[in-house]
């Protein structure tokens, strides 16, 4: 393309004035690692070779299809699942009636982690953050009266991916729909779990075998089904920059392609059915550019490493979801605006399907009312804005094209760094992506808490009125009891010899490396094995993975940039140290099967910078285990981070366990996604402090330290007596 530009005299004078007066702003680097300046001109298109290609042409920067939305709009999806299969089924049917075109299933954390609902480790998790699925019969109830040969189904599942996908296949089979007619996507993106979301079961290497077996099975038996959805969504939600989200996601994808090739598959057998999943946050133009850059990067790396014959193997197709991390508890109706902005960025960037979050999801699971607004947001974009009338509407924008080029260049550098490590599996084992994401996440939080990054209604323009909204309430105990009864019936009516034989063959294949694990899981689930039984059988061979917890240091306070605001915290900590002769000690606990640890990691990092002794706990602890850890480390306070709605079950259990062990002098605080209507319950249970979404870390630190000082004065003698008896 021509780089020659002609200006009128007035334009030239204006440009010269800009260059003289605004030079100090040139080269400002955003937190996403992008160089941003206040004015862009045609000169900023000098490195935008991608503009030479039309939509539908490799490297697909401008879109995967020549017609894009003018031929068919993006698919409207609603990610949903809660409580029982029956309730989720009713929600699905209502959404489909309201204009939704595809189903996206959220499973509860017990299911994600491969536990049946009757397992003692999941007492607070069953049915809370998704639907409970223990066997094929649950899956059949989930899709009752929903024709699986006509409906595209996306399932966010990674840890227990084998029994869940097998259950879906058998549910279709028993509905009269053969596997070759099933359409949809299974996430099956396990590398991301080791970085951010943590709903893994097995270590990385056997997990990669499972991924490749699923790719192989679907390539042979399920031509309409996407065998993997390579996800950057949870990376951005955990705090990753846009460059990190791009690079780590695409590097994951390249690793999966390599694993499938190592299993003997030709790249063109499966690559056209790979799909991606990105988060869309509030950096409007950069998010649009990110999707364009992702398509270009994927085509380039696939051609460079694998040289496929089918041009569709170079094509990056993606689902997007608006950000959950951008939603706020404060002024929650502002979230409708945020979601609309993010949805526009996704569609202008050329997503193939989209989920829009509900405005109340910073507080609880969406209600029917909030889900309808989220769904209508997409319908309005499709029918009332003109977005579907034009292909790649922001093409040629000086700013967007420059951002696209920057993202391509910066992500390329990071992908190459990962390749130099030996690929993403090696990088994950070394903890590189996890550590780098946590650094950015901690810095972002410091910028928000210090007011350098404005969040309307949270750290600026706060409202004096508290909007009261209805939230969805799940009776965890009732759901679990119902699931346990169903499990008993299934186990009493099945052929247990057939189940034992199927599980034995599954274990033999895990040991030998021969056979396809999804094929064998289908045999087991057809015989009415449970999700937990299949997961346990494989755990005997592969073991259960235990992640390591690291705390990044000197990131929060360096980014905060306001020592005057931090001084009260330092003073309070010094006061405690003077009175107690030791530093305050905080144990950060993650109870139940909730692996979302961004909040806990940020608190750990910031409090450590302030002067606390920090013990960062292992994931997936029971209240009993957390109490033991706190007591054995002589902590003054246990902080519980909750994002999966298990707080009303698990936190009271923790407090009661501390009392039973004579350690009621240890304070318990909690934070995360906790509805205000639950505060009284938790305070009555003995919680000292509750920090909801949007709480500044500095406020949490100061309030916690004051509480620890008062508690130390009040319980000094009893604490010393407990520690003395422990020493004896």
Measuring CA to CA, which residue among 493, 670, 461 is closest to residue 586? 670
Measuring CA to CA, which residue among 399, 215, 410 is closest to residue 296? 410
Instruction: Give backbone dihedrals phi and psi of 320, rounded to 5 degrees, phi first.
Output: -130, 155
CA 712 to chain centre: 38
Eight-state DSSP code of residue 363: T
Q: SS3 for 204?
A: helix
Distances (CA, A) of 639 to 133, 546, 603, 649: 30, 21, 9, 16
For residue 74, cis peptide bond before it (omega within 30 degrees of 0):
no
Q: How many residues does the chain have?
A: 728
Whole-angstrom distance, CA of residue 546 vs CA of residue 534: 19
Instruction: Give backbone dihedrals phi and psi of 633, rounded to 5 degrees, phi first.
Output: -100, 10
Instruction: Give backbone dihedrals phi and psi of 184, rounded to 5 degrees, phi first.
Output: 145, -155
Burial zone of 205 (CB within 10 Å; 0-12 exposed, 13-18 middle, 19+ buried): exposed
Distances (CA, A) of 14 to 6, 20, 400, 483: 14, 10, 22, 70
Whole-angstrom distance, CA of residue 97 vs CA of residue 669: 43
Eight-state DSSP code of residue 322: E
Whole-angstrom distance, CA of residue 430 vs CA of residue 388: 44
Whole-angstrom distance, CA of residue 451 vs CA of residue 240: 20
For residue 59, cis peptide bond before it (omega within 30 degrees of 0):
yes
Measuring CA to CA, which residue among 201, 119, 127 is closest to residue 163? 201
Measuring CA to CA, which residue among 527, 535, 532, 536 is closest to residue 490? 527
Whole-angstrom distance, CA of residue 327 vs CA of residue 18: 36
Sign of the dihedral defined by the CA atoms of residues 661, 662, 666, 667, in that order: positive
Taking residue 38's Cβ as centre, other Cβ atoms within 10 Å add up to 9
Rg, Å, the chain Cα set: 26
Question: Which residues have a catalytic role annotated?
Answer: 79, 233-234, 590, 594, 596
Instruction: Give the residues across from 670 on adjacent strands.
Output: 640, 690
Tokens 């460059």 identify what position? 243
């Amino acid at each position: 393309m021509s780089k020659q530009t002609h200006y009128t005299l007035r334009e030239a004078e204006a440009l010269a004035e800009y260059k003289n007066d605004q030079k100090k702003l040139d080269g400002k680097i955003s937190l996403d690692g992008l160089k941003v300046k206040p004015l862009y001109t045609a000169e900023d298109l000098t490195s935008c070779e991608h503009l030479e290609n039309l939509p539908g042409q490799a490297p697909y920067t401008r879109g995967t299809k020549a017609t894009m939305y003018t031929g068919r709009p993006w698919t409207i999806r609603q990610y949903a699942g809660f409580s029982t299969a029956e309730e989720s089924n009713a929600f699905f049917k209502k959404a489909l009636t309201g204009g939704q075109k595809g189903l996206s299933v959220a499973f509860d954390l017990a299911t994600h982690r491969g536990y049946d609902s009757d397992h003692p480790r999941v007492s607070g998790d069953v049915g809370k953050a998704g639907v409970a699925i223990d066997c094929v019969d649950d899956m059949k109830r989930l899709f009752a009266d929903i024709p699986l040969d006509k409906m595209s189904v996306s399932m966010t599942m990674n840890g227990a991916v084998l029994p869940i996908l097998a259950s879906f296949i058998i549910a279709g089979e028993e509905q009269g729909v053969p596997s070759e007619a099933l359409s949809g996507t299974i996430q099956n993106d396990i590398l991301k779990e080791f970085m951010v979301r943590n709903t893994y079961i097995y270590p990385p290497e056997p997990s990669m075998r499972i991924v490749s077996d699923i790719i192989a099975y679907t390539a042979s038996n399920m031509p309409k089904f996407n065998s993997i959805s390579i996800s950057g969504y949870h990376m951005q939600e955990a705090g990753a920059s846009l460059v990190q989200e791009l690079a780590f996601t695409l590097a994951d994808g390249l690793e999966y392609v390599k694993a499938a090739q190592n299993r003997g598959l030709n790249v063109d057998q499966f690559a056209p059915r790979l799909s991606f999943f990105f988060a869309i946050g509030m950096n409007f133009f950069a998010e649009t550019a990110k999707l364009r850059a992702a398509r270009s990067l994927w085509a380039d790396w696939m051609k460079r490493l694998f040289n496929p014959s089918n041009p569709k193997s170079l094509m990056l197709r993606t689902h997007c979801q608006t950000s959950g991390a951008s939603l706020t508890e404060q002024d929650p109706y502002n979230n409708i605006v945020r979601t609309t902005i993010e949805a526009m960025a996704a569609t202008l960037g050329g997503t193939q399907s989209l989920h829009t979050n509900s405005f109340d999801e910073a507080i609880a699971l969406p209600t029917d009312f909030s889900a309808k607004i989220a769904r209508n947001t997409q319908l309005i974009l499709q029918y009332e804005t003109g977005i579907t009338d034009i292909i790649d509407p922001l093409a040629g924008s000086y700013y967007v094209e420059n951002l696209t080029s920057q993202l391509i260049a910066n992500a390329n550098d990071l992908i190459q760094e990962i390749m130099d490590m030996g690929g993403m599996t090696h990088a994950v084992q070394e903890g590189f992506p996890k550590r780098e994401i946590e650094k950015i996440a901690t810095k972002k939080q410091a910028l928000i808490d210090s007011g350098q990054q404005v969040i309307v209604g949270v750290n600026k323009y706060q409202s004096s009125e508290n909007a009261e909204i209805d939230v969805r309430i799940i009776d965890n105990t009732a759901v679990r009891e119902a699931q346990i009864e169903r499990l008993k019936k299934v186990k009493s009516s099945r052929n247990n010899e057939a189940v034992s034989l199927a599980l034995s063959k599954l274990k033999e294949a895990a040991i030998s490396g021969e056979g396809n694990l999804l094929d064998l899981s289908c045999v087991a689930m057809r015989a009415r094995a449970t999700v937990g039984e299949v997961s346990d059988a494989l755990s005997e061979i592969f073991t259960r993975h235990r992640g390591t917890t690291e705390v990044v240091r000197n990131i929060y306070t360096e980014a905060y940039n306001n020592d005057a605001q931090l001084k009260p915290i330092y003073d309070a900590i010094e006061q405690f140290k003077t009175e107690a002769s030791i530093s305050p000690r905080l144990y950060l606990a993650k109870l139940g099967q909730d692996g979302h640890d961004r909040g806990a990691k940020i608190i750990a990092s910031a409090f450590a910078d302030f002067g606390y002794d920090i013990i960062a706990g292992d994931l997936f602890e029971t209240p009993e285990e957390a109490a033991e850890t706190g007591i054995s480390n002589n902590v003054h306070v246990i902080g519980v981070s909750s994002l999966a709605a298990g707080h009303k079950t698990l936190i009271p259990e923790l407090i009661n366990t501390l009392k039973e062990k004579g350690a009621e002098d240890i304070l318990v605080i909690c934070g995360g996604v906790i509805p205000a209507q639950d505060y009284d319950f938790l305070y009555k249970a003995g919680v000292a402090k509750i920090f909801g979404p949007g709480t500044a870390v500095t406020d949490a630190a100061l309030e916690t330290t004051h509480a620890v000082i008062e508690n130390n004065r009040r319980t000094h003698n009893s604490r010393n007596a407990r520690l003395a008896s422990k020493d004896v």
